[in-house]
Structure 1
Amino acid sequence: MHKAYSPEKKIAILLKSCKLIYDSMALGNPGKPYGADDFLPVLMYVLARSNLTEMLLNVEYMMELMDPALQLGEGSYYLTTTYGALEHIKNYDKITVTRQLSVEVQDSIHRWERRRTLNKARASRSSVQDFICISFLEPDNQARTLASKSDTLAEQLRAQCAEKFEVDQHQDYRLFVLVDGKCFQLADDSLPHHIKAYLLKSEPKRDFHFIYKAVDRGETQTPTVKEPNFL
């Protein structure tokens, strides 16, 4: 988790870890339904045997930088649960160990939720517009999350990428989007944030990656797209 760059990837790893814990619990007593009250003590046990300092840093990183649009989802639930478990461990000698979060921890979570939901309507509208994750040369390679306005053109975003990835000969580099294994080149006057928003809302859900790489003159002509609903 500590090696992951974006909060979204860290949360995805956290969700996988929580699922593994539930699966392990089920192995001990097949068929028995386990709830949050059963899960929290086991999560605390797992966390206590991990690198607590590193885990605390990751949780604080995710809580402050996660996309507000994800706050009502499964990731936010397990993130706050993990935070509560870590607080239990940090204050082990100061509290009576129960399955309920202390008033102080609950208050801390509520303050975080209030802070993160200020101007929620505005934040939720801009959450898929203001940030975009772009990989270098191939999917998930040196991925960076860039901040820019929703009306930023692909040509302008390319300039940010050239600086971020320290590319000197950037004239031959372009932005691409890989959707379910098929590659498309973004037109210079296209709007990457609008394309991202379209892909996030598309059904069925699509696997997509934005990539900054050089144009390969020898490969088959890659389709160029401008409009968000290009599929």
Structure 2
Amino acid sequence: MLTTINCSMRATEIKIKFRSRIRYILHLVEEWFRDTCKKIRSSCKISLKTPPRLQALRNRETGTGSTIRCYALQLAVDKTTTFSQNIDNFIQCTKEGKEASPHVVMRNMRQFMSGMKNYLVKHGEREFEKEVEKERLKLKPNEFLNLDAILEGVMMGLVVRPLKEHVYRLFVDHYTATGSLRTLADSIQYAYGKHIQELGVRPKLFPPSEANLEIILKYIDRLQKADSPLDKLENLLAAISAIFNSVKQSNSDSEIVLGADDLLPLLVWVLVRGRVWGAEVEAEYMWGLLHPSLLTGEGGYYLTTLSSAVHVLKTFKSSQGTMSTLNGSGTPDCSSVLRILIPDELHGSLNTRTLPVRPNNNTREICRILAHKIRCTNPQDYGLFKLVQGEETLLGDHECPQELSHCVFAYKRIDAKIAWPKTSS
């Protein structure tokens, strides 16, 4: 009897030490992240706002909800729980499986993570529901628990990190077989010796200085080394911010205004100078594993810009080593960007937006990015049209505008009655 009591006390003591150790580790991670952010801010002022969803996921280790995250990690460590067993089985089956497509594997990972989050929220396990209830009681009237964001961070660590090496190996095999890796590497090497204006950067626009380029490439390097697609996206946004800020600094004595048309060729130049051979793998890794809600705003726009830059580079050598242009600008052709007319109904004028696109972007995805860029509050009322000699045709959700030729594109209210000019420049 006495032995049983001693064993029970010993087990309780171990659990207490285990929980305190996890909390201590989380505390160290929190301090490390705070110090890292301070260093980043001191080296380069970030002008882009972090997307709200990304910020919510970034805060997953601190503040409200940290005990829920801690408990979910405990469930994962305890090999007797359904939560832990399912994760271990999925990782093992994924590594041992014969699926060769990295995109299919990432889709399965994304679905599995969503399923496990739903399992904990709807059914819970052990004391999970009680931990959530404890945190709910601490909420102020204007606060809520973002369980999706908290558990997203947990699943990134438990599922994505152990499978990163496997996914990367599949990417290397896939892109080696298709020749994409060799194409991108050859194009980067070829473009390295070209003048910056041959990469599409317009004349009189001074690129980032060597010192600022080094800062930008540090963000790119961090992006490549990170396990989590969330961390990769954060470093991509930091690199984009550094590009904008450094170009503004380099052109402070001139009246040049850096526009969206300038970002794509500048990013191409950065990838060339940094010899970022794995840019396509990094972009696809983020596309496949990021939470879909992160791909609808700033995050999705700048990730699309990265994919567009990769596409420009892959076709650079075959296009005789210079950017083909639209309307005399340094913007590449519409396989990597779209120029879209947007009517100003109040003033009766046409505005033009240049949008970076991926080769497989469909109309629905392009409309979503456009609605975000022009801050459209009723995107359901708008559509993308193709114009041929002033005659408009509404494009279907799953059509790919980049594959269409001899037409102009316009984004407008579906019900708006507009007489278009016969020719559009």
Q: Common fold, TM-score beyond 0.5?
A: no
Highest CA radius of gyration, 1 or 2?
A: 2
Pick 1 or 2: higher relative contact order, CA cutoff 8 A, min separation 6.
1
TM-score, length basis structure 2: 0.25
Higher helix share: 2
